């Protein structure tokens, strides 16, 4: 009977590898994996507000955790599995979520203030201070509403 437990341990370890390392990962694994695998979470990208709403909904469905744990979960998900609304975010939020340099994030904010909101991803390519290939690699991290 030890064989099935070993398989379960390997499956849990494999799922854990789907989440990026960072502060809060263990809390996400502990609280969220009671109802669904972490692979489900890792496949999503949402804005901070959307992650907050998701965590609120899971709490209303019976997710068990403290307020501090739920705050940690939202912070982790927003940072490591987040999307950033480039039309509203601060340069620091753009830097952290899109994994850009401070200068690149600031360039997005400056371009936005001079030219108005970005309508779509292709418009980000107009920000000359950022390599378009770098933006393309992070395309799933940007939102525009």
Domain boundaries, the chain: 28-82, 84-143
CATH second-level architecture of 28-82? Orthogonal Bundle (1.10)
**pLDDT tens digits, residue range 51-100?**
999 999 999 999 999 999 999 999 999 989 999 999 999 999 999 999 99
More confident residue, 37 or 91: 91
Contacts of 44 (CB under 8 A, 6+ apart): 81
Adjacent-strand bridge partners of 8? none
pLDDT of residue 1: 42
d(CA 117, CA 77): 25
């Amino acid at each position: 009977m030890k064989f099935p437990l070993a398989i379960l341990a390997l499956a849990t370890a494999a799922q854990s590898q789907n989440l990026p390392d960072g502060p809060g990962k263990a809390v996400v694994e502990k609280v969220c994996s009671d109802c669904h695998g972490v692979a489900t979470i890792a496949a999503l990208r949402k804005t901070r507000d959307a992650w907050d709403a998701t965590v609120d909904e899971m709490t209303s469905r019976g997710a068990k955790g403290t307020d501090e744990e739920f705050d940690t979960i939202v912070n982790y998900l927003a940072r490591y599995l987040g999307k950033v609304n480039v039309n509203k975010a601060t340069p620091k939020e753009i830097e952290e979520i899109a994994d850009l340099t401070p200068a690149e994030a600031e360039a997005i904010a400056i371009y936005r203030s001079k030219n108005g909101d970005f309508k779509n991803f292709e418009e980000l390519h107009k920000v000359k201070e950022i390599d378009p290939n770098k933006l393309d690699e992070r395309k799933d991290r940007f939102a525009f509403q």
